[in-house]
Chains A and B, each alone.
Chain A
Amino acid sequence: MSPNVLRWSASLFVAAALWELCARAIDNMLFLAPLTAVVLRFGELWASGELQTHIWVSLIEFAGGFLLSAVVGILFGVVMAASISVRGLFDPWVSMLYATPVIALGPLFILWLGIGVPSKIAIVFLTAVFPILINTVTGLTTTDRNLLDVARSLGATPAQIYRKVRLPAALPFIIAGLRLGVARALVGVVVAELFGARAGLGFLILSAAQSFDTAGLFVGVLILAVAGVVSVEALKWLETRLAPWRFQDEEP
Chain B
Amino acid sequence: MAMPKLSTSNLGKVFRKGDLVTEALRDVSIGVNAGEFVGVVGASGCGKTTLLRLIDGLIEPTTGTVTVDGQRIDKPGDKIAFVFQQDSLLPWRNVLDNTVFGPEIKGREMAAARGVAREFLHLVGLRGFDRHYPHELSGGMRQRVNLARALTVGADILLMDEPFAALDAQTREIMQAELLRIWRETGKTVILVTHQIDEAVYLSDRVLIFTVRPGRLKEELAIDLPRPRDLAIKRTAEFVRYADRIWRAIEQEVRDSIGREASAFADAEE
Contact = CB atoms under 8 A, between A and B. Distances in A.
Interface of A: 144, 146-147, 149-156, 160, 164-165, 168-169, 171, 242-245, 248
Contacts of B90: 147, 150, 164-165, 168
Contacts of B102: 154
Contacts of A169: 92
Given A151-B105, A153-B76, 10 more contacts: A149-B82, A149-B88, A150-B84, A153-B81, A154-B102, A154-B153, A155-B106, A244-B135, A245-B135, A248-B135
B117 to A, nearest CB: 13
Contacts of A156: 105
Contact of A154 (B105, B133, B134): B105
Main secondary structure on chain A at its contact with chain B?
Answer: helix
B105 A160 contact: yes
A164 B135 contact: no
Interface string B48-66: 0000000010100000000
B67 interface: no
Nearest to A247: B135
A231 B58 CA distance: 44
B77 interface: yes
Interface in B53-99: 56, 58, 75-78, 81-82, 84-85, 87-88, 90-92
Contacts of B202: none
Given A153-B56, A153-B82, A168-B92, A245 B133 contact: yes
B58 A149 contact: yes
Main secondary structure on chain B at its contact with chain A?
Answer: loop
A149 B84 contact: yes
Q: Which 9 A-B pairs have the closest CB atoms?
A: A245-B135, A245-B91, A153-B82, A146-B88, A154-B105, A154-B102, A156-B105, A248-B135, A168-B92
Nearest to A151: B105
B135 to A, nearest CB: 4
B105 A146 contact: no
Nearest to B77: A155
Nearest to B88: A146
B120 interface: no
Contacts of B84: 146, 149-150, 153
Given A151-B105, A155-B105, A156-B105, A245 B76 contact: no
B37 interface: no
Contacts of B133: 244-245
B101 interface: yes
B51 to A, nearest CB: 15
Contacts of A149: 58, 82, 84, 88
Contacts of B85: 146
Contacts of A243: 91-92
B88 A245 contact: no
Which of B82, B84, B105: most chain A CB closer than 10 A? B105
Interface in B124-159: 133-135, 153
Nearest to B91: A245
Nearest to A248: B135
B120 to A, nearest CB: 15
A112 B81 CA distance: 61
Nearest to A242: B92
A149 B118 CA distance: 24
Nearest to B98: A150
A145 B209 CA distance: 28
Contact of A153 (B58, B91, B106, B135): B58
B166 to A, nearest CB: 12
Contacts of A165: 90
Contacts of A164: 90, 101, 104-105
